[in-house]
Structure 1
Amino acid sequence: MITALRPLTRSVTYARWLHLVTAVVLATVFAFVTPGIGNMDNWAGAWLLVAPLPLLAALAMVPGVRLSEGMQAQLLLFPAGREAGDPPVAPAPSASWEDRWRTALWLVLRYELGTVTAFMSVHLPTLTVNLLRSAAGHRPLHIPLTQTSHEPHWWYALLAPAALALLMAFVIGAGAVLARAAHALLGPSAAARLAALEQRTERLLEHNRLARELHDSVGHALTVAVVQAGAARAAASPEFTEQALAAIEETGRHALEDLERVLKLLREDTPCLADRPSLADAERLLSAARSSGARITAEVMGALDTVPGPVSREGYRIVQEALTNVVRHAGPADVSVRIAVTTDGLELDISNPLAEGAGVISGSGSGLRGIRERATLLGGRAETGEHEGTWRVRVLLPLSALG
């Protein structure tokens, strides 16, 4: 019983009631300009449910009408926003013929339900008063639309609450129907929802890529800084300390540039790939690794400027992660770096000799997993692990995948 009466205590019930009865404004205008259909006490008034429909269909063709209806629905049908699991209606002008026809259906439904609600809101309370007066013996009972009157009886008082209960039940039900219709008719279409979902998925993927890129850049910088600081303290040489500090400063500056660029992209939510480093900037990675004690032999074959942008940028991050692993796990080792552009694609080969307790990647393995993921997304493949006494990272990326 308490559950059944709970809607009577909620403000949304009365806000939806107001939204419903505002449709009577149009019915009133038609009652004034169309003689003979304004009498709601007989069946001639039923023409008010039909006469405005062509006008409503015409109004639905105006894009701004959908925006106006959406704002009204959001304000009155969902006054508390996301309550009871109902997402709010997103007001927007009509962008397609599908939106216009859905708006037309909405206008017709709102008008029909609203007109009936307004009729019942006037006549059922009036009927309640008449029932009570008739029960008291003051006047005959007149029932709307029937054109008949009944002599007073005391038991009419028992029917008075039923009329009000019927009114409230209809208002609550009509409000719920209108709220559901608002989702279906004023909300985005299935195609629009799918497009929004795809856009959100792309944005999440882009943010995930930026996070991985930031991890690679900052992780590389911190690894170089830690190794350089440790080597400088162990060497106890002012000259070497000066070189280590210069290397830390240079690596940190590049990491700060990457950090600022990524944060800017995350704030603006608009990808700008022009400033991302590519394989043309690979020399700074080699210099940072050399300054950390690694003895690097680098071989670059082919024209790097012919490598498509996405492949070149991801290739840079792969080389960066591989060199970071070398500095972190192998220390001052001999490292061979080969970057080759061939007709088959881009080949990246980074290897260093294995020594006891060094070279084998322990840790979480997220860096190697990131290398493999980058290669897979570009349609290539990555091989990581021991190879003929060395730890090797070999990646093949097709140039035609995104070029």
Structure 2
Amino acid sequence: MIRLLRPLTRAVTYTRWLHLLVGGLVVLAAASVHGIEDATARDWVVITLLPVPLMAAVALVPAMRRAEGLQARLMLFPGAHAREARSGDPGADGADGEGPGVSVAPSASWRDRGRTAVWLVVRLELGWGLGVASVQLIGYALALLGTTSDAPDDDGLFLPRPASAAWNALLLPLPLLVLSVLVVVAGRLAAAAARGLLGPSPTERLAALEERTEQLLERNRIARELHDSIGHALTVAVVQAGAARAAADADFTDRALEAIEETGRDALEDLERVLRVLREDAEPAHQRPTLAAADRLLESARTVGAEVDAEVSGPVDELPGPVSREGYRMLQEALTNVLRHAGPVPVRVRVAVSGGALTLDVRNALPRQAAPTGRGGSGLRGIRERAVLLGGRASTGPEDGEWRVHAELPLR
């Protein structure tokens, strides 16, 4: 019993009732124009259908779909999500109960206009029917209480009122119960119709999916940026500090501290740039480091003690922005991986631009302990992911007694 009465305790039941009654007022206005004195059943059918062409015409206005969507969100699906009408939000998350599933975008096609017209007619007729039922059932309840002075033939009730009797009051819950059921059912029908007719179109769903995909890709890119930049700085700092402690030489310690300071400053700049991205106040992408600044990475590895044999060929300065920026991060992660797992060992770096592609090749001697056999951690996986996103390919792993990171990125 409590479960059956639960809808009556929810505000959404009454907001839906009000939303439908307001829609039914259009039919009432048409009735006042047509005249309802001595109206026959045929007249009532005409009155009910009279506003339909007007609703169809109003639906041609693109903004009408947005207006109806906002009303439906606020009245049919009240809650925090109902007030979220951000630009580009199609409201497509209603299937799982997390959102209304109602679009607030203007009509962008004739299909949208047609669906809006059908919704307006559904709201109109459903609201009118619910309004008539509400008036009749409430009037019947008042008649059972004997609070009306009209004669039974003049009270406007469709249902015959029982003869006056003391036990009539016992029938009072019956019309109220029927009205409650009608209100709940009509509200749920209206909510379902709104999701189906005012819900996002396939174009809007695709646009929302593309936007979410872009957001996920941006988050992944930021995560890779932090991993590569901060990871490189921490690796250099750890290796430098360890080497300075082992050397116990004042001059070497000064150089190590200077290298740690410079690397840390670069990492702080990268961190500040990423934080600006998160605050939606990002720098332009062209201000991110590119392969033109590869000397900074190579010098950072040399200060740790690694013997870096670097060879750069081709017009590196003329590389496309995305290729140059991602290539810089891939080289940074490759050098970080060398310092982290092999220490200050000889490293051969080859950067070549030729044949419409950028080739990165980093080789280093494997550490004395057992050679790794897996596909690497998140850093090496990030190298492969960057290469795939640019339409290239990358491989990492042991080869001929060395650890090799090899990547090929097309320039277009």
Please indicate, yes or no, whether the TM-score normalized by the shorter chain is above 0.5.
yes
Letter aligned with residue 236 of structure 2: V
Which residue among 215, 226, 250 is the counterpart of 2:238? 226
Letter aligned with residue 352 of structure 1: N
Could you give the per-residue CA deviations for residues 33-75 of structure 1, whole angstroms, max 9, x where no partner exists? 22x3466785523322111112111222223322322222222
1:369 matched to 2:405? The reply is no
Give the corresponding residue for 2:124: 111
Q: Shift of the alpha carbon at 1:343?
A: 0.8
Where do 1:29-44 residues align within 5 Å? Answer: 29-34=29-34, 36-37=35-36, 43-44=42-43
Where do 1:383-398 residues align within 5 Å? Answer: 383-398=395-410
Q: Is residue 217–residue 255 contact of structure 1 (8 Å, CA) maintained in 2?
A: yes
- Tell me, in whole angstroms, the C-alpha distance in 2 between the residues paired with 1:327 and 1:32: 86
Give the corresponding residue for 2:265: 253
Where do 1:31-110 residues align within 5 Å? Answer: 31-34=31-34, 36-37=35-36, 43-81=42-80, 85=97, 87-88=99-100, 89-110=102-123
Letter aligned with residue 265 of structure 2: R
Q: Is residue 132–residue 160 contact of structure 1 (8 Å, CA) maintained in 2?
A: yes
- Tell me, in whole angstroms, the C-alpha distance in 2 between the residues paired with 1:171 and 1:151: 25
Where do 1:153-168 residues align within 5 Å? Answer: 161-168=173-180
Paired residues in the alignment total 396
Could you give the per-residue CA deviations for residues 220-271 of structure 1, whole angstroms, max 9, x where no partner exists? 0111111112222222333222221221121112111111111212221868
- Tell me, in whole angstroms, the C-alpha distance in 2 between the residues paired with 1:226 and 1:337: 22
Letter aligned with residue 119 of structure 1: V
Which residue among 355, 359, 377 is the counterpart of 1:347? 359
- Tell me, in whole angstroms, the C-alpha distance in 2 between the residues paired with 1:339 and 1:280: 11
5+ long unaligned stretches in structure 2: 83-95
1:13 matched to 2:24? The reply is no
Deviates most, 71-80 or 254-263: 71-80
Q: Shift of the alpha carbon at 1:90?
A: 4.5
Where do 1:293-304 residues align within 5 Å? Answer: 293-304=305-316
Which residue among 178, 195, 203 is the counterpart of 2:215? 203
1:322 matched to 2:321? The reply is no
- Tell me, in whole angstroms, the C-alpha distance in 1 between the residues paired with 2:161 and 2:249: 114
Could you give the per-residue CA deviations for residues 309-345 of structure 1, whole angstroms, max 9, x where no partner exists? 2222221111111111111222221111111112162
Give the corresponding residue for 1:189: 201
Give the corresponding residue for 1:4: 4
**Residue aligned with 2:361, SS:** strand
**Residue aligned with 2:407, SS:** strand
Percent identity, aligned pairs only, is: 56
Q: Shift of the alpha carbon at 1:16?
A: 1.2
Could you give the per-residue CA deviations for residues 53-102 of structure 1, whole angstroms, max 9, x where no partner exists? 12111222223322322222222212234699262344333333333222
Give the corresponding residue for 1:308: 320
5+ long unaligned stretches in structure 1: none
- CA shift in 2, pair 1:86/1:201, >3 Å: closer
Question: TM-score when scaled to structure 2?
Answer: 0.86
Could you give the per-residue CA deviations for residues 101-156 of structure 1, whole angstroms, max 9, x where no partner exists? 2221111111111111111111222233445659xxx965779687x978837687
- Tell me, in whole angstroms, the C-alpha distance in 2 between the residues paired with 1:244 and 1:97: 69
- Tell me, in whole angstroms, the C-alpha distance in 2 between the residues paired with 1:284 and 1:38: 91
- CA shift in 2, pair 1:361/1:277, >3 Å: farther
- CA shift in 2, pair 1:119/1:140, >3 Å: closer
Letter aligned with residue 384 of structure 1: T
Q: Is residue 352–residue 390 contact of structure 1 (8 Å, CA) maintained in 2?
A: yes
- Tell me, in whole angstroms, the C-alpha distance in 2 between the residues paired with 1:258 and 1:206: 16
- CA shift in 2, pair 1:166/1:219, >3 Å: same
Could you give the per-residue CA deviations for residues 6-52 of structure 1, whole angstroms, max 9, x where no partner exists? 22222221111111111243233223322x34667855233221111
**Residue aligned with 1:246, SS:** helix
**Residue aligned with 1:396, SS:** strand
CA-atom RMSD in angstroms: 3.1
- Tell me, in whole angstroms, the C-alpha distance in 1 between the residues paired with 2:293 and 2:19: 63
Give the corresponding residue for 2:289: 277
Deviates most, 294-303 or 322-331: 322-331
Q: Is residue 139–residue 157 contact of structure 2 (8 Å, CA) maintained in 1?
A: no
Q: Is residue 144–residue 161 contact of structure 2 (8 Å, CA) maintained in 1?
A: no
Q: Is residue 326–residue 359 contact of structure 1 (8 Å, CA) maintained in 2?
A: no
- CA shift in 2, pair 1:117/1:93, >3 Å: same
Which residue among 163, 177, 180 is the counterpart of 1:152? 163
- Tell me, in whole angstroms, the C-alpha distance in 2 between the residues paired with 1:100 and 1:57: 9
Q: Is residue 21–residue 127 contact of structure 2 (8 Å, CA) maintained in 1?
A: yes
Give the corresponding residue for 2:247: 235
Q: Is residue 136–residue 157 contact of structure 2 (8 Å, CA) maintained in 1?
A: no
- Tell me, in whole angstroms, the C-alpha distance in 2 between the residues paired with 1:150 and 1:344: 90
- CA shift in 2, pair 1:97/1:119, >3 Å: same
**Residue aligned with 2:398, SS:** strand
- CA shift in 2, pair 1:72/1:396, >3 Å: closer
Q: Is residue 66–residue 104 contact of structure 2 (8 Å, CA) maintained in 1?
A: yes
Could you give the per-residue CA deviations for residues 194-245 of structure 1, whole angstroms, max 9, x where no partner exists? 2101210121012112201210111001111111122222223332222212
Q: Is residue 131–residue 141 contact of structure 1 (8 Å, CA) maintained in 2?
A: no
Q: Shift of the alpha carbon at 1:303?
A: 1.1
- Tell me, in whole angstroms, the C-alpha distance in 2 between the residues paired with 1:22 and 1:102: 20
Q: Is residue 20–residue 110 contact of structure 1 (8 Å, CA) maintained in 2?
A: yes
Give the corresponding residue for 2:87: none
1:288 matched to 2:300? The reply is yes
**Residue aligned with 2:403, SS:** strand
- CA shift in 2, pair 1:23/1:360, >3 Å: closer
